[in-house]
């Protein structure tokens, strides 16, 4: 239910945020303030509701600093080990060499409850031993997160290289594709619990680690599928020149040109007619300025603004930040007076002449090359990549030269890899939560949950370092490399599960008040591992909440 809830919220936000982003606001075609602002407000509201309901919460103050106690125990055991002459079965057992129950307040309190032979610190040492066994099993987990979290980065970049059009003018943008993950999580959770797991249990004993191994293999398979898709995408993309090289296209045209280049053309997006472009609203217009330096040159899109001085020669323009060119019909105007940076003076109007020429972009992104020759007609030009449009003298019919092909691989080809990675998430992530919670003593549950979340941070750090290193020039190669690394790591994880880890079961009678609220949880977690119960029956009640049932250990 916990994982279902967080993914329900993720589904809503992933679907709505791109819609808010695509809206126009504050003179921009995009509205990131709205896309980030509304979730921020909702987060504040949720926090207020959480605090308002605190009256009904069962609050128990922490009895001790768990991290402090654990580190104190570790350093104490290490110190005693170097000074000790006898060997112990486990290096943490050396901590008990200098421990005296008569001087430990907690030990004295627990002896009154559980008998004079009970040592609270000795039980705590056993709990830390099991904590280390669980943490060692966490070592391969960051690799899974390093792959999984790339859905919002590398997979998003892959989506920008694909055709986002479903049909007509219906677009499925790359950042909207990610909503499928959250939707599939909500669909897969009941399917796995009600159908897949019961069927699988008829053939094999399901354990936490076996599920996680299957989930890791699915994650590797998902990146293998992504690599295949990227291979096809690469075949549809133009060859990019390497460093020190140039990409030259030569068109043979039977045309004599004489005149000056029109470097003061501006563009305005309008649905049906150029009158929708209001010169009194400068934010409607785009000016393209070519910037050169010693290394490279590129075309950057800017808003331009006219200060509106009376003398034409004194007019100044303000260049604002880059804005994306979005699909739709664009009208071309001739700008009187070239824009130049002049501070942040408020503009009033724009001095332009309508050329009665329009172009229509059906896809977002790409590089567009246009040449207006003679008296252009009002025919529209459509391209999703890059092209050159030239009008012939005889009949005015346009000739189209394609420089960069349109994105041809449909973005729906990302769906299979999302389905596979989501199934892997069900098996790996949800089961990982169960494993972390059930395989440690109640006194260590907060620590092991924090360690599980910390593996996500480590995985993201790994990707940051790899990105800075940038060892891959080909995204398809990168996907296959990630798939291979994940496969190798998960095989090692399977060996660790079989040869190293022994399952532990914690059951309760409710004697320890510190863990009273965990009693029901312990029974629930025991019931969730159907494979364990199939071989060993229901968990037994004992007088000690933290007792290990070593005779009931279950191997991978």
Task: Strands of 82-208 (E only): list them.
Answer: 165-167, 170-171
Which alpha helices (DSSP H) does 404-444 contain, by range?
Answer: 415-425, 431-438
Would you call 333 helix, strand, or coil by DSSP? Answer: strand
Whole-angstrom Cα distance, residue 149 to residue 456? 9
For every one of its 556 residues, what pLDDT tens digit does the chain have, with 9 covering 90 and above? 667 777 777 778 777 777 777 777 776 667 888 888 888 888 899 899 888 888 888 877 767 778 888 888 899 889 988 888 888 888 888 888 888 888 888 788 878 888 878 888 888 888 899 899 999 999 999 999 999 988 888 998 898 888 888 876 677 878 788 888 888 988 998 999 999 999 999 999 889 999 999 999 999 999 999 999 999 998 887 777 777 777 777 766 665 555 555 566 777 877 666 666 777 776 677 765 544 444 433 334 344 444 343 343 344 443 333 445 566 777 878 777 655 544 444 455 667 788 777 777 666 555 555 655 544 443 333 333 444 455 444 455 555 556 666 777 889 999 999 999 999 999 999 999 889 888 888 888 888 888 998 999 999 999 999 988 888 888 999 999 999 999 999 999 999 988 888 877 765 433 344 443 333 333 333 333 333 333 333 333 333 323 333 434 455 6
Half-sphere exposure of residue 16: CA atoms within 13 angstroms, side-chain side:
13
> Which positions ≥6 away from 482 have C-beta within 8 Å?
146, 147, 150, 223
CA 347, distance to chain mean position in Å, is: 40
Closest CA to 211 of 418, 419, 431, 1: 431
Whole-angstrom Cα distance, residue 521 to residue 27? 54
Closest CA to 423 of 148, 137, 146, 140: 148
Evaluate whether 215 touches 431 at the Cβ level (below 8 Å).
Answer: yes
Instruction: Tell me how far CA of residue 223 lies from CA of 192, 412, 424, 475, 511, in angstroms.
Output: 22, 16, 11, 11, 49
CA 526, distance to chain mean position in Å, is: 32
Sign of CA dihedral 83, 84, 90, 93: negative
Q: Around Cβ 96, how many Cβ atoms within 10 Å?
A: 18
| DSSP 8-state secondary structure symbol assigned to residue 411 | G
Output the pLDDT for position 292: 40
Whole-angstrom Cα distance, residue 262 to residue 481? 48
Q: What is the pLDDT of residues 95-141, one digit of tens each?
A: 888 888 888 887 888 788 888 788 888 888 888 998 999 999 999 99
How much is the pTM?
0.66
Core vs surface per residue 336-366: b (16+ CB within 10 A) or e: ebebeeeeeeebeebebeebebbbebebbeb
Whole-angstrom Cα distance, residue 428 to residue 185? 12
Would you call 352 helix, strand, or coil by DSSP? Answer: strand
Which alpha helices (DSSP H) does 237-321 contain, by range?
Answer: none
Domains delineated in the chain = 1-59 (no CATH), 66-128 (no CATH), 138-237+407-501 (1.20.1250.20), 265-404 (no CATH)
Rg, C-alpha atoms of the chain: 32
Output the pLDDT for position 319: 38
Q: What is the pLDDT of residues 468-481, one digit of tens each?
A: 888 888 899 999 99
């Amino acid at each position: 239910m916990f994982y279902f809830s967080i993914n329900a919220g993720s589904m809503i936000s992933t679907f709505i945020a791109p819609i808010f982003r695509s809206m126009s606001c504050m003179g921009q075609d995009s509205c990131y303030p709205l896309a980030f602002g509304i979730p921020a407000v909702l987060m504040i509201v949720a926090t207020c509701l959480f605090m308002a309901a605190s009256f009904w919460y069962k609050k128990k103050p922490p009895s001790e600093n768990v991290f402090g106690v654990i580190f104190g125990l570790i350093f104490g055991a290490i110190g005693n080990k170097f000074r000790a002459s006898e060997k112990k079965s486990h290096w943490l057992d050396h901590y008990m060499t200098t421990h005296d129950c008569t001087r430990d307040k907690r030990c004295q309190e627990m002896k009154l409850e559980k008998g004079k032979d009970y040592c609270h610190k000795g039980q705590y040492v056993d709990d830390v031993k099991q904590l280390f066994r669980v943490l060692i099993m966490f070592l391969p987990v960051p690799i899974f997160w390093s792959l999984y979290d790339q859905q919002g980065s590398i997979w998003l970049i892959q989506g920008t290289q694909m055709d986002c059009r479903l049909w007509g003018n219906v677009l499925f943008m790359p950042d909207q594709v990610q909503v499928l993950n959250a939707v599939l999580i909500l669909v897969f959770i009941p399917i796995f619990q009600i159908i897949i797991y019961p069927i699988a249990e008829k053939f094999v004993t399901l354990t936490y680690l076996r599920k996680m191994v299957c989930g890791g293999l699915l994650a590797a398979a998902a990146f293998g599928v992504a690599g295949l898709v990227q291979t096809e995408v690469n075949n549809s993309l133009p060859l990019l020149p390497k460093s020190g090289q140039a990409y030259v296209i030569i068109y043979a045209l039977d045309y004599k040109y004489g005149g000056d280049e029109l470097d003061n053309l501006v563009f305005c997006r309008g649905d049906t007619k150029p009158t929708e472009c209001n010169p009194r609203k400068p934010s409607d217009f785009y000016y393209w300025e070519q910037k050169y330096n010693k290394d490279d040159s590129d075309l950057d899109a800017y808003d331009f603004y006219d200060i509106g001085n009376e003398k034409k020669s004194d007019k100044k323009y303000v260049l604002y930040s880059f804005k994306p060119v979005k699909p739709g019909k664009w009208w071309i105007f001739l700008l009187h007076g070239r824009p130049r940076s002049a501070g942040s003076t408020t503009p009033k109007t724009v001095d332009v002449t309508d050329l009665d020429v329009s172009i229509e972009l059906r896809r977002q992104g790409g590089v567009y090359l246009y040449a207006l020759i003679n008296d252009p007609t009002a025919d529209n030009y459509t391209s999703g990549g890059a092209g050159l449009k030239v009008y012939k003298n005889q009949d005015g019919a346009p000739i189209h030269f394609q420089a960069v092909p349109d994105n041809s691989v449909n973005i729906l080809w990302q769906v299979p890899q999302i389905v596979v990675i989501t199934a892997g998430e069900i098996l790996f992530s949800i089961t990982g939560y169960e494993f972390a919670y059930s395989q440690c003593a109640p006194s260590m549950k907060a620590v092991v949950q924090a360690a599980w979340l910390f593996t996500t941070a480590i995985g993201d750090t790994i990707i940051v370092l790899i990105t800075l290193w940038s060892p891959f020039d080909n995204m398809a190669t990168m996907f296959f490399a990630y798939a291979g690394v994940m496969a190798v790591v998960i095989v090692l994880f399977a060996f660790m599960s079989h040869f190293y880890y022994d399952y532990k079961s914690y059951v309760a009678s409710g004697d320890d008040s510190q863990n009273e609220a965990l009693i029901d949880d312990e029974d629930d977690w025991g019931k969730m591992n159907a494979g364990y119960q199939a071989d060993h029956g229901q968990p037994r009640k004992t007088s000690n909440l933290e007792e290990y049932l070593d005779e009931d250990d279950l191997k991978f």
